[in-house]
Amino acid sequence: MKMTFRWYGEKDPNSLEYIRQIPLMSGVVTAIYDVPAGQVWPQERIDALKATVNAMNLEMEVIESVPVHEDIKLGAPTRDKLIENYCTTIRHLGKAGVKVVCYNFMPVFDWMRSDLKQRMPDGSTCLAYDQKTVDMLDPAISDLSLPGWDESYTREQLRDLLKQYDSINEKKLMDNLIYFLSKVIPVCEESNVKMAIHPDDPPWSLFGLPRIISDENGVDEMLSRVNSPYNGLTLCSGSFGCHPKNDIPRLAAKYAKAGRIHFVHARNIKFTGENSFHESAHPTSCGSLDMYGILKALYENGFDGYIRPDHGRNIWCEDGRPGYGLFDRALGAMYLTGLWEGISKTI
Ligand code: DNO
């Protein structure tokens, strides 16, 4: 297992120097943020990013994310050219020694929360999701900014994009994912880069848009229809875990055993009602998920991929990017490496 930390590039207030001071940190998970979805990441930009990271004695073996253009998800006629560009980016990443690419296939919106700063009794703030609040939003007319909201769309473009999804149901979206993977995975095999799809967060449909990587059925279908070890999963405990039907230790065991988990996002959440939760500190007893059970299942089933602490709270007066401050994620990393050491010495 390699512990990593998400880093948002030079603009990230958390410097590489701070990150490398976290004990046992092997590398950062990062991306090139200013190349629009669908375009090729130039080799020189990737190499320069890697050189910056390596100069601080950190590795850059995981990219999160190479975003998938909406036309690929929609199965539009332009998709072949866009997929070709994606493949070129994969080749470039492979040349730079990148081993894993995390991506998602959620239409329009990435992760979604209703509150970015829910104040907790101890004075910390955390991210929260309340279904009733989200139900009152209409993305085509609401004027708000949420973390997974792609703000590069104008209101008009967003409305138009949502309209295009009228004809896309879950089956169609899955077929479009399979079409994409069947072209990309052979290139991954040649380039030694593993694809690790991020689950839907939250794992249910939002605003009537289809979501397909929400549970075991969707994951099984995706893995079996493109049956290569290079076609794998980011096991995000907090994303799958906010639906109680997803038993994360069992899923961790099943997919680690099959060699299909390439990356883990470790995060705890606390249920607050039906389809509602807030994020918590990482330890098991701070939330509703069995973090020990998840790591134990990974360990026992031979997981040897990358892991990162996922979202942290804002603590100690830090006012970090929602979910991505330094302090609580560093505490999370230490908790997780401690758990791993304990598990590996007792099993
Ligand atoms: C949220 C992240 C996601 C993730 C993407 C992967 O904090 O886990 O935004 O990076 O879904 O494509």
* Residue 145 resides in a domain: no
Give percent of the chain with pLDDT exceeding 90: 90
Q: Give me the pLDDT at residue 158, please.
A: 86
Quote the ligand 1 centre to 265 CA distance (angstroms).
Answer: 9
Nearest-5° Cα angle at 178, 175 to 180 = 110
pLDDT score of 189 more than 70: yes
Q: To which H or E segment does residue 231 belong? A: strand 231-236
Rounded mean pLDDT, 127-149: 80
**Residue 234 CA: which ligand 1 atom is closest?**
6
What confidence category does residue 156 fall into, taking pLDDT thresholds of 50, 70 and 90? Answer: confident
The residue from 12, 102, 188, 198 that is catalytic is 198
Closest CA to 82 of 122, 54, 40, 130: 40
Helix/strand number for the chain, H first, E second: 12, 12
Q: Give me the pLDDT at residue 150, please.
A: 61
Ligand 1, pocket residues at CB < 6 Å = 64-65, 102-104, 110-111, 198, 265, 311, 323
In angstroms, the CA 188 to CA 90 distance is 7
Which residues lie across from 306 on neighbouring strands? Answer: 2, 263
pLDDT score of 182 more than 90: yes
* Residue 32 resides in a domain: yes
Most informative mutation of 30, 62, 65, 197 for ligand 1 (most atoms within 8 A of CB): 65
pLDDT score of 145 more than 70: no
The model's pLDDT over 247-289, given as tens digits with 9 standing for 90+, comes to: 999 999 999 999 999 999 999 999 999 999 999 999 999 999 9
The model's pLDDT over 293-343, given as tens digits with 9 standing for 90+, comes to: 999 999 999 999 999 999 999 999 999 899 999 999 999 999 999 999 999
Residues 229-232: contacts with CB under 8 Å, at least 24 apart: 229/194, 229/259, 229/260, 230/185, 230/188, 230/189, 230/193, 230/194, 230/195, 231/181, 231/185, 231/188, 231/195, 231/260, 232/194, 232/195, 232/196, 232/197, 232/259, 232/260, 232/261, 232/262
Rounded mean pLDDT, 130-156: 77
Q: Give me the pLDDT at residue 143, please.
A: 64
Q: To which H or E segment does residue 144 belong? A: none
pLDDT score of 138 more than 90: no
265 is catalytic: yes
Give percent of the chain with pLDDT exceeding 70: 97
pLDDT score of 140 more than 90: no
Reported residue count of the chain is 347
* Residue 125 resides in a domain: no
CB within 8 A of 203, min separation 6: which ones? Answer: 211, 213, 214, 215, 239, 240, 242, 243, 246
In angstroms, the CA 50 to CA 44 distance is 10
Quote the ligand 1 centre to 198 CA distance (angstroms).
Answer: 7
243 is catalytic: no
Rounded mean pLDDT, 195-217: 96
> How many domains is the chain built from?
1
Q: Give me the pLDDT at residue 216, please.
A: 97
Most informative mutation of 7, 33, 64, 329 for ligand 1 (most atoms within 8 A of CB): 64
In angstroms, the CA 312 to CA 328 distance is 5
Tokens found for residue 276: 């509602």
In angstroms, the CA 19 to CA 28 distance is 8
267: number of CA atoms within 13 Å, CB side? 29
* Residue 148 resides in a domain: no
Mean pLDDT of the chain: 95
- When comparing pLDDT for 134 and 229, which is higher? 229
* Residue 149 resides in a domain: no
CB within 8 A of 253, min separation 6: which ones? Answer: 297, 298, 300, 301
User: b/e string for 73-106 if b means 16 or more Cβ within 10 A?
Assistant: bbbeeebeebbebbbbbbebbbebebbbbbbbbb
The model's pLDDT over 41-93, given as tens digits with 9 standing for 90+, comes to: 999 999 999 999 999 999 999 999 999 999 999 999 999 999 999 999 999 99
pLDDT score of 215 more than 90: yes
- Cβ neighbours around 210 below 10 Å, total: 20
What confidence category does residue 149 fall into, taking pLDDT thresholds of 50, 70 and 90? Answer: low
CB within 8 A of 254, min separation 6: which ones? Answer: 216
* Residue 139 resides in a domain: no
Nearest CA to ligand 1 atom 3: 111
Domain that holds residue 214: 2-108+161-268+288-346
CA dist list (Å): 230 to 118, 188, 190, 226, 323: 38, 7, 10, 9, 29
Rounded mean pLDDT, 1-10: 97
What confidence category does residue 153 fall into, taking pLDDT thresholds of 50, 70 and 90? Answer: confident
* Residue 277 resides in a domain: no
CB 38 within 8 A of CB 32: no
In angstroms, the CA 252 to CA 302 distance is 11
* Residue 113 resides in a domain: no
pLDDT score of 142 more than 80: no
CA dist list (Å): 49 to 10, 25, 42, 278: 9, 18, 11, 34
Task: Give the 3-state secondary structure of residue 264.
Answer: strand
Q: Give me the pLDDT at residue 136, please.
A: 87
The CATH number covering residue 224 comes to: 3.20.20.150
pLDDT score of 148 more than 90: no
Residue type at 288 in one-letter notation: S
Q: Give me the pLDDT at residue 157, please.
A: 85
Q: Give me the pLDDT at residue 154, please.
A: 80
Task: Give the 3-state secondary structure of residue 22.
Answer: coil
